Chains A and B, each alone.
Chain A
């Protein structure tokens, strides 16, 4: 529904110039001649479209240093010449240049020209004093709008009075009311997306009470179909889809958000809350699951999993998408235009853009994703009530297991004495299952010195070099950063597996960036999961992770490894699922570490094995990552237990434990720990209990639905003015910007503000604050668009300077104020519109209206438009009785030609058609796959949901004809409706009538009836001549035709139904 703006502006101008004080004239009065022009309504659109690109707000593209968007610029003395001289068009440079034959403005190269009437407007405006003003939409809403006095009984409500007053100005009269059936069909689509049923038609026809219309509207508003219908438009704006959209276009787990939107509309959640929760539900006090779920709104942008991608580039794109979507969906502003330079038309600077950006980029996300199963963080687990209960139990059991271990360790002191009494002297370290030096290296394979079996192999170019000093036989692996050492067959695969690694390294600090020292992970450069140990400029970082950074346990040492010196490193994990279970040691001493993240859920071995390491433990290398270049490694030991401190010390110095055992009284604390960990059966059994509890918990969590949501980073991620919008533009003190809203709009904090945290919640509060001039206007305009096909502001996505002007500003403002006064009551607004006289008018055109107002901007007739993609399919399902009206749940896959998903994308999931009732769900539940949208829907102008959109075009193409005629869904539905009428014990004419009532919501007239009857008889003759084809036709689709109806009759009626189904009376809602 985009129009040629030139046309729309002309219409607005024609009527707009006629008078501004709508409502002050009754229909009998004539408007006064030539009221003063309005800058915002009459002049600004011309200046903006024709002049501002070169003489507007953006200094980057400004020519001759002249700006016409401010009075200072326009009235400036330019060496004795003045662009605009108020009151004196003849002295104004602007007009001289407009009329100049040789140096015409706008210049031909701009592709812009001024019409005569536009020049007249500019001339008149200058003559009237060239008074500048604000764009209408940036002006606050008045507290109340005076209601026009109308001496006519036509208006049912104040809304109608605004419309009537406007029609009077144009000497137009409203159309007569639509017939009851036409109104019923219209309102049913607008409030439920579905046609009225036969029963509903009959009930309404029979109801002659004054409240008949109210009853219908109230019934529709109370139906769950209301939320489903209204949701579709919001889902377009929120760019909701079921796939991530980039490259592989993997399926994303977003549908719970879609269900939240449907539910919110059905429960009539006040619209200010509806917006607030989506923007900042995570920041409200003690957020509920639903409030957090709503923030998925800001994670619905496309996300990339393409190998080789640079995470920061994508994180920047995601934040930019959030800003653009927020701007368009909530403020009706094209703020995204200011990403690379100051806005060329609206008073929004590039700096202001990045100030807004600051609200949306402070999220601790990785930026890329690995697979459908591994949900990018931040995310939210959505257990169903049963799962929630079980989850609580499993978590409690983990707590108990930990408590049990602690108490068992406390009690171990009694058993410790008995053990000491046996005078243990052997410094043994039980559970060491791997031991490995490079001293006896012979081939590419290494043996486990514990059992002599091969267990290691070096990959490619790993060299063997002299090892640690003091032992001439000692050898070490010299790593090149691209190749590593893989060690096969060791335990330590899942998060509940405890382990200890001990080894010696020499770190040459070959780079300051992170280098992979040791890992056991699956994944690619777009994400790894499992265990890893990273060395970054000498500091060790250990991770147990599923979807870092959010879903991981990450600690980082506060002490660096010494450069170029041999260091002993130990890394241990107790399998307990918390940061306290991770330890790092340097040269035999536990090192202090900072906990970077301490939240882990689900299993970590989530991607399987990949890369040369084959998913086994590997040193010094990982697929496409920087390895331990130039580093040396030797004397590697692996234990399948988190060993005690003194055991680590023993591995480092080879005497700590022996020393302690020989003087136990001096080392009782260390030895107690050693005893408990290594030997005490009770402690070992309690550890086993933790292992079991973790395993049960993680495996159970794997089955719980999870969705990406918004969550503020622990410390604010700064925002910078990025030159040309580039992610890699300098980010420094000079480019740093701080969160704020554009100056042209009210200030972020008002007198009433009590909380001054400057975050998304503050932005949300500002967005829905009473003095925000945009939000309510934008909202009511889009609801209006749902009912009338076109908004009062046609460009519903853009209320800025270049947007269309409201066709009836007072009406828009009246509705916006009323909407806020009602507590942002969405259903009340729909109710008022649906019951208005304006909405009830007949939509038939007349030659006069076609001439004066073909786009029906003045509303002298009722609204008519083609059904949306969803409505069309839902209509035939409903008419046939096939519709399965379950609300919500995972998306389904209705019929589509085979192979489309994978035809040119072998990296994506395959399409599996749904079965049974799931084939017949409402269309909003179809899987919305961004790079391969449902083709029949796309052809009817559904969007791909790759980017925010608030209006769909309504085109008319031959491909649409092919869909309605040949798509199995429509053919099957026609047949099932045919069955329904064939089973009626009535004559064929009455059958056709029922078809009409089911599909078009009315009886056919005599002519229509005779045409469809003719169609039926012609087809009957055809099929009787070739009964086999009849049989083929009626067997299309998964549902089976009843044997009781003769195939030729059914086939003929199927085609007759199709004839009706394809006709204008069904495809359009008038």
Chain B
């Protein structure tokens, strides 16, 4: 790291103060050219940063976030949202007063019947909170009292691509910055040799695709985009030296390069050149720091036992959960995990069981591990998908082959740590698990336009998560095409009741 030295004689020549320098680089394109490089500049208690926010909007409850995104839309009725009535009504058509004119996807809209489908799994209550869990979540049920459930999530999209794009960028259409890139833009980095926003995805998962736009920077500068860490080959693209180039050879070359660039700087007086020199040094450090942090092999045996047998195999959800904890320890602000495979249109019983086998233990282990390390209180862990699934069966109601279609009107997410209300459940659904309901179970129709107590739109969740991280969603904006854009568009409401 070669920080810009305000006492360097050149700085006077340049006629720039340190603040001006950091505030105006890259030809004035964006104002945070170096913020992601500045060590510890946004660390707790040191809020003198020149980031767009200048400082946190309020004292954050969480320092970092680990988002366990369950892509495909996990069926809430088979995991957390216990609906015994569905089993009673099994095979009978969903009543029209429950469907309430809901539009269906073209996958089930033409079915001649939409029969209620009870969950094939047993449910029991766990912990002090008495939260319901299905039998296929034996580990998460063990941390019941650390979890804060939202059972009344809702969204508008009914297809995966627009729904997941909406979840991650606040718009169903491509082109907006992702959650993590907003955070990077707003808050910068907490470490000097790793990216602020890291993306991990389970390998070979198949099912519904993931897109670069989900961690892209949209109209924000591309330096804010998430950096994908991969499990095979280079953990970060292009990280390794070319074959035959050793560390000392590279160091020597970078020193000569730096000399060339400094020489150029003296001629051109362009602060961008100084910045380039710094970027090369950070790249060099990443070549060591990234393999260090991604090498989980030195973790003690009991850690692997905690995360389960898969955790020894890089690229699994289990290994990624463990890696997420390591990245959190190193000061990465936003760690986004993706796990694909929750799109159970058919064979729900066996398929969702398989997904739970892969994800249940590692997700619970991550919470336990963070707690053990004293990190849970300032690490926000979130688990959930882009929408829920229908309470009726897609296709014939055969016990083994039946499935559930997409359902945006209600679904469940949970959070842990980071200032959320542990051991609580917010919001509920009606007895069919088809609509968000009031406290008496009567279906209600919330909309994103106006906040309804008890219902949490995706924009509300985004606003709430940002709030926990010290950011007011209405004030983290970027002017583009004549408008001040923000993650939550013109909506979003911070749900304070989710916070402790």
Partners in one complex: yes
Binding site for B on A (CB under 8 A): 1-5, 7-8, 109, 111, 245-249, 302, 304, 306-311, 317, 321, 328, 334, 336-337, 344-346, 460-461, 480-482, 525-526, 624-627, 629, 728, 789-790, 795, 797-798, 800-803, 843-848, 850-851, 854-856, 864-866, 897-899, 903-908, 930-933, 935-936, 938-939, 941, 944, 946-947, 949, 953-963, 965-968, 971, 1007-1008, 1011-1012, 1014-1015, 1018-1019, 1022-1023, 1026, 1028-1036, 1051, 1055, 1058-1060, 1062-1065, 1067-1068, 1070
Report chain B residues within 8 Å CB of A845.
268-270
Q: Name B483's contact: one of A344, A1008, A1033 (CB within 8 Å).
A: A344
Q: Could you list some 6 contacts between A and B, CB below 8 A?
A: A5-B479, A309-B159, A310-B105, A626-B112, A946-B174, A953-B221
A1062 touches B16 (CB 8 A): no
A1022 touches B249 (CB 8 A): yes
Smallest CB–CB gap between A368 and chain B, Å?
9
**Which A-B residue pairs are the 6 nearest by beta carbons?**
A802-B482, A1033-B244, A308-B105, A1032-B244, A905-B209, A946-B174
Chain B window 249-290, contacts with chain A (Cβ cutoff 8 Å), 1 for yes, 0 for no: 110110011011101110111101101100110110011000
CB distance from A50 to the nearest CB of B (A): 11
Q: B134-142, B199-207, B436-444: which lies at the A interface?
A: B199-207
Please tell me if the beta carbons of B477 and A111 are within 8 angstroms of each other in the complex: yes
Asked if B210 contacts A308 (CB within 8 A), the reply is no
The winner among A109, A856, A957, A960 for most chain B CB atoms within 10 A is A957
A1023 to B244, CA, bound (A): 9
What separation, in Å, do the CA atoms of A803 and B237 have in the docked complex?
Answer: 37
By a CB distance below 8 angstroms, the chain B residues around A626 are 110, 112
For A933, list chain B residues within 8 Å (CB). 212
Are B260 and A249 neighbours in the complex by a CB distance under 8 Å? no
Please tell me if the beta carbons of B213 and A1008 are within 8 angstroms of each other in the complex: no
B482: chain A residues at CB < 8 Å are 334, 337, 345-346, 795, 798, 800-803
When distances are taken between beta carbons in the complex, the residues of chain A under 8 Å from B240 are 966
Which A-chain residue is minimally distant from B474 (CB atoms)?
Answer: A111
| The one of B14, B113, B244, B396 that contacts A847, using a Cβ cutoff of 8 Å | B14
Q: For the complex, what is the distance from the CA of A1030 to the CA of B263, rounded to whole Å? A: 29
In the bound complex, residues from chain A placing their C-beta under 8 Å from that of B30 are 2-4, 953, 955
Please report the C-alpha to C-alpha distance between residue A459 and residue B338 in the assembled complex, in whole angstroms. Answer: 39
Q: How far is the CB of A379 from chain B (nearest CB, A)?
A: 23
* Chain B: interface residue total (CB-CB under 8 A): 104
Known contacts A334-B482, A790-B27, A1070-B268; A627 and B112 CB within 8 A of each other: yes
- A851–B14 CA distance with the chains assembled, in angstroms: 7
From known contacts A798-B481, A844-B267, A957-B222, infer whether A906 and B286 are also in contact, taking CB-CB under 8 Å: no
**A247, A930, A953: residue with the most chain B Cβ atoms closer than 10 Å:** A953
> Which of A480, A801, A850, A1064 makes the CB contact (< 8 A) with B14?
A850
Q: A938-B225, A966-B240, A1064-B268 are in contact. List 6 more A-B contacts (CB 8 A).
A: A2-B30, A4-B31, A931-B212, A1036-B243, A1036-B244, A1062-B280
- Any A CB within 8 A of the CB of B173: yes
Distance (whole angstroms) from the CB of B20 to the closest CB of chain A: 8
A317/B173 in contact, CB under 8 A: yes
Q: Is B248 an interface residue (CB 8 A)?
A: yes
Closest Cβ neighbor of A5 among chain B residues: B479
A1068 to B477, CA, bound (A): 30
A249-B246 contact, Cβ under 8 Å, with A864-B270, A953-B29? no
Q: Are A1007 and B263 in contact (CB under 8 A)?
A: yes
Q: How far is the CA of A797 from the CA of B108 in the complex (A)?
A: 42
Assess whether B205 is in contact with A967, with CB atoms less than 8 Å apart: no
- Shortest distance between the CB of B207 and any CB in chain A (Å): 7
- Chain A residues near B340: list those with CB within 8 A: 904
B237 lies within 8 A of A935 (CB)? yes
Would A2 and B283 count as touching, CB distance under 8 A?
A: no
Q: Which of B76-84, B226-234, B356-364, B453-461 contacts A (4 or more CB under 8 A)?
A: B226-234
> Once the chains are docked, how many angstroms separate the CA of A789 from the CA of B270?
15
A335 to B406, CA, bound (A): 33
Interface of B is mostly: loop
Does the CB pair B279–A525 fall under 8 Å? Answer: no
Contacts of B428 in A (CB 8 A): none
Q: Bound state CA distance, A345 and B480, in angstroms?
A: 13
Residue of B nearest to A957 (CB): B223
Q: A306 is contacted by which of B160, B216, B242, B338 (Cβ under 8 Å)?
A: B160
- Shortest distance in angstroms between B273's beta carbon and chain A's nearest beta carbon? 5
Give Cα A1 to B25, complex, Å: 11
User: In the bound complex, how far is the Cα of B213 from the Cα of A228, in angstroms?
Assistant: 27
Residue B103 at the chain A interface, CB threshold 8 Å: yes
A1028 to B246, CA, bound (A): 12
Contact of B256 among A854, A898, A1059 (CB under 8 A): A1059
User: Do residues A1022 and B263 form an inter-chain contact, with CB atoms below 8 A?
Assistant: no
Please, which residues of chain A bring their CB within 8 A of the CB of B45?
none
**Chain B residues within CB distance 8 Å of chain A:** 13-16, 23-31, 33, 103, 105-108, 110-113, 158-161, 173-175, 201, 203, 205-213, 216, 219, 221-223, 225, 227, 230, 232-234, 236-246, 248-250, 252-253, 256-257, 259-261, 263-265, 267-270, 272-273, 275-276, 279-280, 282-283, 286-287, 338, 340, 396, 405-406, 474-475, 477, 479-484
B279 touches A249 (CB 8 A): no
| Known A-B contacts A802-B479, A850-B15, A954-B26; A1058 and B213 likewise in contact (beta carbons under 8 Å) | no
A899 to B242, CA, bound (A): 19
Residues in chain A near residue B276, CB distance under 8 A:
956, 961, 1064, 1067
User: Do B111 and A897 touch across chains, with their CB atoms under 8 A apart?
Assistant: no
The residue on B at minimum CB distance from A1064 is B264
Q: How far apart are the CA atoms of A248 and B203 in the complex, in Å? A: 17
Residues of A within 8 A of B283 (CB): 958-959, 961-962, 965
User: Which residue of A898, A941, A956 is within 8 Å of B233 (Cβ)?
Assistant: A898
Q: Output the least CB separation between B105 and chain A (Å).
A: 3
**Contact of A931 with B213 in the complex, beta carbons under 8 Å:** yes
Of B107, B260, B268, B396, the residue contacting A460 (CB under 8 A) is: B396
CB distance from B498 to the nearest CB of A (A): 22
A815 to B108, CA, bound (A): 58
User: What are the residues of chain B within 8 A of A248 when measuring CB–CB?
Assistant: 209
Please report the C-alpha to C-alpha distance between residue A808 and residue B477 in the assembled complex, in whole angstroms. 29
Q: Which residues of A contact B242 (CB under 8 A)?
A: 965-966, 968, 971, 1033, 1036
Known contacts A798-B482, A847-B15, A947-B175, A7 near B24 by CB under 8 Å: yes
Say whether A956 contacts B105, CB under 8 Å: no
Minimal beta-carbon separation of B244 from chain A (angstroms): 3
Instruction: Give the distance to chain B from A618, nearest Cβ to Cβ, in Å.
Output: 15
Q: In the bound complex, do residue A966 and residue B27 qualify as a contact, i.e. CB atoms below 8 Å apart?
A: no
- Please tell me if the beta carbons of B111 and A482 are within 8 angstroms of each other in the complex: yes
- Given the interface pairs A802-B479, A1015-B253, A1031-B244, the reply to whether A2 lies near B29 with Cβ below 8 Å is yes
Contact B243 A1032 (CB under 8 A): yes
Q: List B contacts of A480 (CB < 8 A).
A: 112
Contacting residues, chain A, for B252 (C-beta < 8 A):
1015, 1018-1019, 1022
Chain B contacts for A336, CB-based, 8 A = 481
A938 to B405, CA, bound (A): 35
Q: Which residues of A contact B106 (CB under 8 A)?
A: 307-311, 525-526, 624
Whether the pair A963, B107 counts as a contact (CB closer than 8 A) is no
Interchain CB contact under 8 A, A941 and B483: no
Contact: A308 with B159, CB < 8 Å? yes
Q: Is B269's CB under 8 angstroms from A624's CB?
A: no
B253 with A897: CB separation less than 8 A: no
- CA separation between A346 and B265, bound complex, in Å? 43
